[in-house]
A and B are shown apart, each in its own frame.
Chain A
Amino acid sequence: MTRTAIVAPLSAATERLLGAAPAPRRRKDARLSAGALVLGLPGMLQAAQPGDWEIDSAVLFYSETDRVQAIEPVIAVRRYFDTDRFLSGKLVFDSLTGASPNGAVPSSLPQTYTRASGNGSYTVGSGEIPLDDTFRDTRVALSSQWQQPLGSSLAGNLGFAASQEYDYQSLAIDGGLSYDLARNNATLSIGMAYATDSIEPEGGVPLEGSCLFGASASNGCTESGFDETRRTSSESKDTLDLLLGYTQVLSPSTVAQLNLSLSRSDGYHNDPFKLVSVIDTDDSAGNGIGEPERHLHESRPQSRSKRGIFARVKHMLFDRDVADASYRFQTDDWGLTSHTVDLRYRWAPWTRHAFTPHLRWYSQSAVDFYAPFLRDDAAPPTHFTADYRQASFEGITVGLEYDHRTSSGRSIRIALEHYSQDGEDPDNAPGQLRGREIFPDMDAFMVRVNFDFGW
């Protein structure tokens, strides 16, 4: 026998026998596996412990400067029946308070708005972006998911979700199949979800393009009573989502994922609380050029089709850290195209402590029918919205998460994030609107505390 190093060929043969060595065991969410990454959420990367309960609790505090504040406690429970079969449930409470832009433009005069319910009004100061300060809601969402293997390399999952707000209800079912191939080094998955949402705003659903109640006939409004601005008492929307995913382990320390998604929704897409201002272009109302003459309820199409592609690479470095980069492209038949780049680096210098800086850049183009305002010298188009979420803007999120694993395997995570959103104000705004902030730029802070435990 040769005395030179046979460790290389022998080691290669041993790897062929055993399969490539898995990535060294670190903490649970640092471990790379094709199946786990498909599930996507850090809380779902936990190892299966049949018969055990896993509980992940979290509280999220969210605050937009001068606007919406939210507190969101979440509790997720998972019960394993054996290694691969589990039932999970999640309960979320959302408590939102604060003010949200209603879509109308600022005026040099104080403005009064009838509340969407028809009961009462709120007033906005001169030059300010009109905010609906009655924004206050509590949401309860419950979801449940069953997952189990269907043979040696096929797994199926079935889920149900429901959420209830004061005036909004959503019910959804989803199902998926995932198939492991190439000795579990790759996973192919398909998923489908169907949701039906219904909205029943207090006071009824506003008629698209109707005037906000309270404007006079001299402003071009025909409705004389509140009920004339309302169409029906409730509306609904159905959404079908399809997902095709492929995950490939490229090396013991690198895994890549590619998802394609299609989504189609039909029904009511408006936000009944959003308005669009019609501005005076010739001072015909006598308040000055650029002043809002009347406010119309927005009007969006009855259907929307989206297509998206998502790519992600996770790579483990120094047997310790994880770099995670993803890119999402989405486009739809409303003309909105968005790009999201998300970068995270999990730095774990000590066994039980890790820091994850996070940077996300988001950019979208406006929908074709986005109009920050309408002009009174032209007939309103069929569809229009001034909702800033349909406008062109960029958002940047910068965050840091700290996570600590106790010796008993429990974990606590604390995340701080700052989000800033920046859109462009139209440069053709006439009169008093010229130079005013019309697109509501925004800063938001978020603090999230997670505590995972199990028994």
Chain B
Amino acid sequence: MQAAGVAVDEAAPGLWRGSFRAMASPGEVLIEGGSQRRALRTTQRVAAEAWRVERKWSRYREDSIVQRINRAQSKDVRVDDETADMLDYAAELWRLSAGRFDITAGVLRRAWRFDGSDRLPETRDVAELMPAIGWQRVDWNRPRLCMPAGMEIDFGGIGKEYAVDRALRLARAQCDQPLLLNFGGDLASDGPRIDGSAWQIGISPVEPEGATERIALRQGGVATSGDAERYLLRDGKRYGHVLDATTGWPTPGAPRAVTVAASSCTLAGMLATLAMLEGDHARAFLEAQQLRFLIQ
């Protein structure tokens, strides 16, 4: 069964799988029980929310609020409530990570291209970008934001997980069956399966020969930071795509991937990212949080 941009098929008897694409990832909705039509409507709602969040904070749309901020040239920009909530959250993450997580760090993409090659940026190229990075240079006075010309913000590191949590709540208004949302490895559910059992989530190994680990999720979110495809390799040393905004470089010794289970997908995603920024200390950091996690 299909509708604009979404499709639903039966993954297993009594288990509907809705699929769509958003945020450069496959989106998936698992719905246990109910009719296929109901599953299609639920998937439509989930996809609509993913598309809305994607459009709203897109770096590529001229009319998006992010573009307006990035093009404001040191002028005040008044933002809507949802964007303001997001900026507050980003500010808190910046504070809690001592500046390593920074939504103004997106300009580093001009120096870093994670294509699996060995083409590391020149130290100078990265250093030249550093003056354009730093939340402390942004004057954020809700609901007004004033940012020096040349700087950019980017919600790419939060948006997908946020969309998963949002879409789950909206889907709940459409559907009473057990639900699991999966946006390219960022997952959330608000309750167990019909028989009371947890959802079993397989975590793909980053090495083809590795074993698939499992995380059981009853309620909350699971998110993974680190990407098998997005890295650079030089002299046997791997450079992952999570960059420390205070240096412009990946934290030395960062794991290949970190998967965290928490009360929401957004929280899980941020903890996974912060763990990557801890480098060698990722495991100790995660153990201190007393949450379930998997390091690869």
Contacts and interface: CB of A to CB of B under 8 A. Distances in A.
Nearest to A49: B38
Q: Which of A3, A4, A17, A351 has the most CB of B within 10 A?
A: A17
B195 A351 contact: yes
B35 A455 contact: yes
Given A26-B191, A409-B33, A7 B291 contact: yes
Question: Which of the four size classes fits the interface of chain A?
Answer: 35 or more
Given A6-B289, A13-B92, A18 B162 contact: yes
Given A1-B278, A28-B176, A47-B175, A407 B194 contact: yes
Contacts of A4: 288
Contacts of B278: 1, 3
B288 A3 contact: yes
A17 B219 contact: no
A24 B266 contact: no
B38 A5 contact: no
A48 interface: yes
B196 A351 contact: yes
Contact of A9 (B33, B38, B96, B196): B96
B270 interface: yes
Given A5-B290, A22-B169, A83-B173, A11 B34 contact: no
A14 B264 contact: yes
A407 B88 contact: no
B194 A24 contact: no
Question: Which of the four size classes fits the interface of chain B?
Answer: 35 or more
Interface in B13-56: 14, 33-35, 37-38, 41
B263 interface: yes
A407 B178 CA distance: 11
Given A1-B278, A409-B176, A409-B177, A17 B191 contact: no
A46 interface: yes
Contacts of B92: 9-10, 13
A10 B270 contact: yes
Contacts of B4: none
B262 interface: yes
Interface string B252-295: 00000000001110110011001001100100110011110000
Interface in A395-416: 407-409
A26 B192 CA distance: 8
A17 B166 CA distance: 10
Given A10-B96, A17-B89, A49 B271 contact: no
Contacts of B41: 49-51
B100 interface: yes
Contacts of A228: none
A287 B194 CA distance: 72
A21 interface: yes
B173 A1 contact: no
A13 B166 contact: no
Nearest to A19: B169
Contacts of B165: 18
Contact of B290 (A7, A16, A22, A409): A7
B26 to A, nearest CB: 23
Interface in A37-69: 46-52
B68 interface: no
A6 B95 CA distance: 11
Interface in B129-146: none
Nearest to B177: A409
B14 A18 contact: no
Contacts of B169: 22
Nearest to A6: B96
Contact of A3 (B33, B38, B270, B285): B285
A13 B89 contact: yes
A3 B284 CA distance: 7
Given A18-B162, A407-B194, A11 B263 contact: yes
A2 B289 CA distance: 11
Contacts of B177: 409
Nearest to A46: B176
A22 B188 CA distance: 13
B229 interface: no
Q: Which of B14, B178, B267 has the most CB of A within 10 A?
A: B267
Given A17-B88, A18-B266, A25-B176, 7 more contacts: A1-B96, A5-B290, A13-B88, A25-B172, A48-B174, A52-B37, A407-B33
Closest 10 CB pairs of A and B: A25-B191, A351-B196, A47-B176, A13-B92, A7-B289, A14-B267, A17-B89, A25-B190, A28-B176, A1-B98
16 contacts: A1-B278, A3-B288, A9-B96, A10-B93, A11-B263, A13-B88, A13-B89, A22-B169, A25-B179, A49-B38, A49-B175, A51-B37, A51-B41, A351-B196, A407-B33, A408-B34
Interface of A: 1-7, 9-11, 13-18, 21-22, 24-26, 28, 46-52, 83, 350-352, 407-409, 455
